[in-house]
Structure 1
Amino acid sequence: MIRVGEFNLLRVKKKADFGVYMEAIDQEILLPTRFVPAGTKVGDELKVFIYHDSENRLIATTQKPFGVVGDIVNLKAVSTTHQGAFLNWGLMKDIFVPTSQQLSKMVAGQEYLVRIYLDEMTGRVAATERIESTLSNENIELKEKDPIDIIIYRRTEIGFVVIINNKHTGILHFSDIFRTVDIGDKLKGFIKSVKGDKIDVALGQPGYKRVEDEGEKILRLLRENNGYLPYHDKSTPEEIQAFFGMSKKTFKMTTGSLYKQHKIIFTQTGIKAVEE
């Protein structure tokens, strides 16, 4: 069964002047010459993405779209009509968002967070802004400290609503954000708490794993600055955030850990790397 809007592993059935035909169960699908890898022979298996061309024919490509069916991605509108909008999908043919699937009238040049789906009526790949109806917090199998994929969805008074693993919604509180984030950003994080259908999340990794990651960052910055950085306990939280991209609390925990590991020393004016 061919999976439209996804990558398929298909065998080259025959060559033509304008490409090669990939063997499907009950049909042949053209892979145009420009996308055929050099040295391809009849019988070779290729991983190709399948979608419909402008004449509604199935076509294959080795190009990688910005997302496949089921993905939630941030795409830029390139043109609009009364029927809908076309977004740059990373392929030669743009992806269509019907007017009925827009939350507000899309404008060319603007970016929109959409879910890619397969239209049941046409069998073609399309996109929708109506994401929340496909998300649910009824059956949450996640638990505290589980690693997750996060997409920044929308801003609220207390933080950002985020999409978790393309399945659930949660809250990333402003107090847990120590870097600039924008709508559509894809980030790594973890579960802080699950209370009923309410999920709180944080960025990075939990506990000491997070400190260890920040430790590598501080050591790298030290190497890039001749082994010395003018930051210490008396530095303001704003100074720490601006340079390191972390809270002062995380900075103190991390430098304390590095000191115990004999990787840095504290001076009156900053921190210094221990020479190996």
Structure 2
Amino acid sequence: MLKLGELNTLTALRQTDNGIYLIDEESNEVLLPNKYIPDGFELENTVEVFLYKDSEDRIVATTLTPKIMLNGYAALEAIDVSDNGAFFDWGLEKDLMVPYVQQVEPVEKGDFYVVYLYLDEKSERLVGTTKISNTLEKDTVDLKIGDKVDLLPYDESEIGISVIVNKMYQGMLFKNEVFEEIMVGDELTGYVKKIRDDNKIDVSLNRFGYRAVDDNVEKLVAALKANEGFLNLNDKSSPEDISEKLGLSKKVFKKVVGALYKQKRLEISGEGIKLIEINH
């Protein structure tokens, strides 16, 4: 069976002026145009190709790998807009269309959006949508507190950044816990903080408790070494100053400083903190 939107491993059947026809195990044929035929490729050889429909609604094969696969997510650039929808660069000759009705808000040319790729049942065409929340699993969550997860930011609000968790679930990064610039489409690693009754997930970019301290001890040491062993930060410093210089919350900073002080690796004064052994 030929699978649109996916990689298919097919066999070369016959040569024509336009390219080579490939065949699957059920004897379905599809054209691989000449420009995509690999060097040295011969009849009866197998090749991995991506299948989609061209502008004339014919299924065609390409050896190019798109930026997004069926039922997947990716940050794509909008390269054109029309009254019917927006067109995105997804790495293939034919641009990916996101119909107007599948846009959360009107798409602007040149901006990046996280897009979900699906197969429209009526037209049997591959189509994109920016209505991400509608595509995510809401019935069950196979995760637990503290789990390390993959995050893909796709929207921002007053309270935080909406993220896709493990390519499946709805998550939220709260702004008061983010101490670095995050862009739509950034691939991040985070940790599950809370799973809500509606199965939405609160996530953090940092571990909690002692693990958060352990993860950031050497980060602070490295920052001190880079500044000749001294930083003009202490528990009187503002959260903004700490965040700007170290990318840490004030709470985590104080815990890390406390841990290094107990290890007798820091001196603390009203002026800041000093690394006792720079080459420790």
Q: Same fold (TM over 0.5)?
A: yes
Unaligned runs of 5+ in 2: none
Determine the C-alpha separation between the residues in 2 that align with 1:195 and 1:106. 31
- Taking only the aligned residue pairs, the percentage that are identical comes to 36
Deviation at 1:87, TM superposition (A): 1.2
CA distance in 1, matches of 2:257, 2:40: 54
Q: What SS does the aligned partner of 2:240 have? A: helix
Contact 1:178 1:246 in 2 (8 A): yes
Mean alpha-carbon deviation: is it higher for 210-219 or for 191-200? 210-219
Amino acid at match of 1:27: N
Taking the aligned partners of 2:276 and 2:62, their CA distance within structure 1 comes to 52
| 1:32 positional shift | 3.6
Q: Is the alpha carbon distance of 1:161 and 1:108 closer, same or farther for their aligned partners in structure 2, counting shifts above 3 Å?
A: closer
Summarize the Cα distance change of 1:168–1:119 in structure 2 as closer, same or farther, 3 Å threshold: same
State the partner residue of 1:97: 98
After superposition, the C-alpha distances for 1:188-247 in whole angstroms (9 at most, x for unaligned) are 212111231153211244555554444454565567x38645355355433332232222
Secondary structure in 1 matching 2:176: helix
**Alignment partner, residue 50 of structure 2:** 49
Distance in 2 separating the partners of 1:228 and 1:36: 59
Report SS of the residue matched to 2:92: coil
1:127 and 2:128 correspond? yes
The residue type paired with residue 239 of structure 1 is: D
| 8 Å contact from structure 1 (residues 64, 90) kept in 2 | yes
The 3-state SS of whatever aligns with 2:134 is helix
Q: What are the residue-to-residue correspondences of 1:150-161 with 2, within 5 Å? A: 150-161=151-162
Distance 1:6 1:29 in 2: 14
- Find the aligned partners of 1:177 and 1:195 in 2 and give their Cα distance: 20
Q: What residue number does 1:239 align with?
A: 241
Q: What letter is aligned with 1:8?
A: N
1:62-141 equivalence runs, <5 A: 62-141=63-142
| In 2, Cα distance between equivalents of 1:33 and 1:254 | 60
8 Å CA contact 2:212–2:252 kept in 1: the answer is no
In structure 2, relative to structure 1, the CA distance for the partners of 1:3 and 1:238 (3 Å cut) is: same
* Equivalent residue letter for 1:94: D
- How far is the alpha carbon of 1:266 from its aligned partner? 4.8
Q: Secondary structure at the match of 1:69?
A: coil
Match of residue 166 from structure 1: 167
Report the CA distance between 1:39 and its aligned residue: 4.2
Q: Which residue of 1 aligns with 2:279?
A: 275
Is the alpha carbon distance of 1:233 and 1:19 closer, same or farther for their aligned partners in structure 2, counting shifts above 3 Å?
A: farther
- Structure-2 separation of matches of 1:128 and 1:238: 37
Question: Given the alignment of the two structures, is residue 188 of structure 1 paired with residue 186 of structure 2, yes or no?
Answer: no
Q: CA deviation at 1:125?
A: 0.7
Report how many residues are paired: 274
Give SS of 1:270's match: strand
> For the structure 1 residues 256 and 20, does the alpha-carbon distance in structure 2 shift closer, same or farther, using more than 3 Å as the test?
farther
Between the aligned partners of 1:147 and 1:238, the Cα distance in structure 2 is 27
TM-score normalised by the chain length of structure 2: 0.79
Structure 1 equivalent of residue 252 of structure 2: 250
Write the distance in 2 (CA, Å) between the matches of 1:258 and 1:9.
56
Q: Does residue 6 in structure 1 map to residue 10 in structure 2?
A: no
Q: Deviation of residue 94 (structure 1)?
A: 0.4
CA distance in 2, matches of 1:182, 1:108: 17
Q: 1:80 to 1:175 in 2, by over 3 A?
A: closer
1:2-47: CA deviation from partner (whole Å, max 9, x where unpaired): 2211222333445566554433233333334444444444444433
Give 5+ residue unaligned stretches, structure 1. Answer: none
The structure-2 alpha-carbon separation of the partners of 1:226 and 1:21, relative to structure 1 and needing over 3 Å to count, comes to farther
How far, CA to CA, are the matches of 1:196 and 1:161 in structure 2? 17
